[in-house]
Amino acid sequence: MAACKMFLTLKKTRTLFSRFGRRVTTWSPVGAAFNVKPHKRLDILEKTVGLFGVPELSSPAGFQVATKSALQNTERLLAKACACAPGVETVNTFDELSDGLCKVADLADFIKVAHPDPAFREAAEKSCVEIGTVVEKLNTNVELCKSLKNLLDSPEIVAKLDPDTRRVAELFMFDFEISGIHLDEKLRKEAVALHVKLLDLNHEFLVGSHMPNRIARSAVPEHLQLHFASEGSFIQVGGLHADSPDDLVREIAYRIYLYPNADLMECLEELLRSRYKLAKLVGYESFGHRALKGTMAKTPETVMNFLQLLTEKLSERTAKDFKMMSNMKKKLNPRNSELMPWDHPFLSGVIRAERYNIEPSLYSPYFSLGGCMEGLNHLFTQLYGVSLMSEQSSAGEVWNEDVRKLAVVHETEGLLGYIYCDFFNRPNKPHQDCHFTIRGGRWCQNTGQYQLPVVVLMLSLPPPTKRAPTLLTPGMMENLFHEMGHAMHSMLGRTRYQHVTGTRCATDFAEVPSILMEYFASDYRVISHFARHYETGQPLPESMVARLCESKKVCGAADTQLQIFYAALDQVYHGRPQDRSSTDILMEMQQKFYGLPYTPNTAWQLRFSHLVGYGAKYYSYLMSRAVASMVWRQCFAQDPLNRDMGERYRREMLAHGGAKEPMLMVEGMLQRRPTIEDFVDALVSELDPNFETFIMDSES
């Protein structure tokens, strides 16, 4: 019966899709699942299975039931962990305890931002708070810590542990240490109080960093007021308007949006003070030293060395880029030709478009969402022997009817896990592209089976219509590949412990798999398998792909230098306290690491929301890109569909999650240990022009 239903659905899909053009009349099941609106359910009596198949979550009240059950299980496992003899069983119990809480907390963390029903969001938020409170108590539970310490303090027992178990035990101990478990009771209470205070400060800063600023309507020239939102007698500015062709609109937006808010400034500076105080309290030189433990970089000194060296190697190219932008500004506006910070994003875009003609609308017809998903499916099949299979979700399993469910299936290993694709815009949905772990993979001793990972990918795409499928710009397509890199990191890992599953690894390593996917998304040998015009079936010309790739290098040094500035600012903010304001520090870092002048009465740092989730780790994007570049050039550039390299990549880098030291994984893949100089050279060489593109353009 199920097979008949599937056949009928596919038949309807093909008939509907034949309207789009003469030649494109069929899609694979995974392509059809994303190119056509799903059929509404007809069986209203079908029993609901609950969100993600969790029966309790058929209603908002179910979150309380699931939370209560998880907390009862926590009490049982807590007693077991404290009572069992030191050994592998101790670590297994810790991981089982962590898994029980994470399965509710991670799911709730997603639902509280993504579910369209406020009742579900509110119930999920309560679960997050309740479980978060319990986790804080566990991290300061002396008896629980003692059971782990007894294990790690015994050389005989540690020697018998396999490397993964030992690393996971050490990571759990690190969680205890940063919570102040080793302190006396008075100082431990102070550490807990600082943790609680930081939760509030993080939330306050994150909310404030996205709030619009406003100014009296009379202060803005009347002919420019229409570019901004109105609020009575005020103009509201909620962003930088970086893409506006009008110099004055960009300048007004920059000055108003970045105008300092005294309360938010105090919040940020108290946040930085409290982070330093907590780091010192638990034994670290600074918050940066605490945050970088276990990363590829390891120390703030290494990060600053990386950023300084990269700045020096880029200096000539950066100066040329700023000169190009300055000349373009003179050309567009001879009366006001000084290059300012609000000009950089717009002018670099103008230069790219003028030089390479990369108007997104020229590319979008070739990048239907379903076609891109077929391309990803083909890539994963070639590299890993993995297929993406569209599955019909059950009643109540997803939070919105346009969410698609994919099973990830290996040709010999079978089902690896599930990816829920929440790709389409809807009212009140966050406009962000991101990956959520809902359930981590782990080996379950009780069942003798592997707990399959479950993730969600969230994008912000227009839904398909009756006339056309969802068409992606090159940037959207690249973001899709990027986020799918995170998902496959979760799917292809087979860690014994969920504490280190998939993307639960060092931040400066976690972005490597996703950034590496951007290289596949830019290679014609990959793109040619799926990029076809949705109406005519014509393939995307190779010259257009080449132009797109070369366009990314235009002003690339200046773009990278801007990221270096942000990363350096983040490091200094999280170093030793300085007897000056965060704005004074910003002014110095902007002059040293960027070059364009600081604008008086602005405070860009108050919009630097990454300070919350990426505190002292913003450099991770640059370092991950350097590693991804090296992996691409050495292992995939010659043949992006090479199965042997795909298997090696899975074996050396994806399979371990966070169970192996990140630099050892990189070393295993590259078969040598890269240096900071290697990372810098990789990023700089990416900006070298490809002369084949110029030849191709001249021939066409």
Q: What is the pLDDT of residues 542-589, one digit of tens each?
A: 999 999 999 999 999 999 999 999 999 999 999 999 999 999 999 999
Res 43: pLDDT: 62
- The size of the chain, in residues, is 700
Res 377: pLDDT: 97
Asked if residues 490 and 503 have their Cβ atoms less than 8 Å apart, the reply is: yes
Asked if residues 437 and 503 have their Cβ atoms less than 8 Å apart, the reply is: yes
Res 337: pLDDT: 83
Res 41: pLDDT: 61
Tell me: pLDDT of 4 over 50: no
Q: What is the pLDDT of residues 118-130, one digit of tens each?
A: 999 999 999 999 9
What is the average per-residue pLDDT within 266-295?
A: 97
Res 44: pLDDT: 63
What is the average per-residue pLDDT within 136-140?
A: 90
Res 73: pLDDT: 97
Q: Which long-range contacts (CB under 8 A, 24 or more apart) does 149-154 make?
A: 149/173, 150/86, 151/86, 151/87, 151/90, 151/91, 154/86
**What radius of gyration, in Å, describes the C-alpha atoms of the chain?**
26
Res 42: pLDDT: 58
190 closest CA partner among 272, 281, 284, 288: 281
pLDDT-derived band at 7 (thresholds 50, 70, 90) equals very low
Sequence-distant (≥ 6) Cβ neighbours of residue 557 within 8 angstroms:
314, 317, 318, 320, 321, 687
pLDDT-derived band at 699 (thresholds 50, 70, 90) equals low
Give rounded-to-5 percent helix, strand, coil for the chain. 60, 10, 30
Tell me: pLDDT of 696 over 50: yes
Asked if residues 456 and 434 have their Cβ atoms less than 8 Å apart, the reply is: no
Res 26: pLDDT: 61
Taking residue 369's Cβ as centre, other Cβ atoms within 10 Å add up to 28
Indicate the range of 423-432, 451-460, 580-589 predicted with least confidence. Answer: 423-432
Q: What is the pLDDT of residues 493-539, one digit of tens each?
A: 999 999 999 999 999 999 999 999 999 999 999 999 999 999 999 99
What sign results for the dihedral spanned by CA atoms 605, 607, 610, 615?
positive
Res 527: pLDDT: 98
Res 416: pLDDT: 98
Question: Structure tokens of 63?
Answer: 């979150």
Res 19: pLDDT: 36
Sequence-distant (≥ 6) Cβ neighbours of residue 15 within 8 angstroms:
none
Res 466: pLDDT: 86
- Of 177, 397, 483, 652, the catalytic one is 483
* DSSP-derived 3-state class of residue 229: strand
Res 15: pLDDT: 33
Residue 387 CA to residue 389 CA, distance in Å, equals 6
Residue 97 CA to residue 483 CA, distance in Å, equals 29
Q: Is the overall model pTM greater than 0.95, yes or no?
A: no
Asked if residues 420 and 454 have their Cβ atoms less than 8 Å apart, the reply is: yes
Res 40: pLDDT: 67
Res 235: pLDDT: 94
Residue 272 CA to residue 258 CA, distance in Å, equals 20
Amino acid making up residue 515? I
Question: Structure tokens of 75?
Answer: 């009490």
Q: What is the pLDDT of residues 239-251, one digit of tens each?
A: 999 999 999 999 9
β-bridge partners, 454? 418, 439
Tell me: pLDDT of 11 over 70: no
420 closest CA partner among 375, 458, 471: 458
Mean of pLDDT over the chain: 92
Q: What is the DSSP letter of 385?
A: S
Res 357: pLDDT: 86
Res 20: pLDDT: 42
Q: What is the pLDDT of residues 98-112, one digit of tens each?
A: 999 999 999 999 999
Q: What percent of the chain has pLDDT over 90?
A: 86
Tell me: pLDDT of 81 over 70: yes
Residue labelled with tokens 């001249």: 698
- What angle do helix axes 88-114 and 118-138 make, rounded to 10 degrees? 150
Asked if residues 582 and 605 have their Cβ atoms less than 8 Å apart, the reply is: yes
Asked if residues 119 and 111 have their Cβ atoms less than 8 Å apart, the reply is: no
Tell me: pLDDT of 639 over 60: yes
What is the average per-residue pLDDT within 9-20?
A: 35
Sequence-distant (≥ 6) Cβ neighbours of residue 181 within 8 angstroms:
139, 140, 142, 145, 188
Res 29: pLDDT: 87
What is the average per-residue pLDDT within 260-272?
A: 98
E strand spans, 401-513: 404-410, 414-424, 434-439, 442-444, 449-451, 454-461
Res 16: pLDDT: 35
Tell me: pLDDT of 336 over 90: no
Q: Is 354 an active-site residue?
A: no
pLDDT-derived band at 179 (thresholds 50, 70, 90) equals confident
Sequence-distant (≥ 6) Cβ neighbours of residue 432 within 8 angstroms:
458, 460
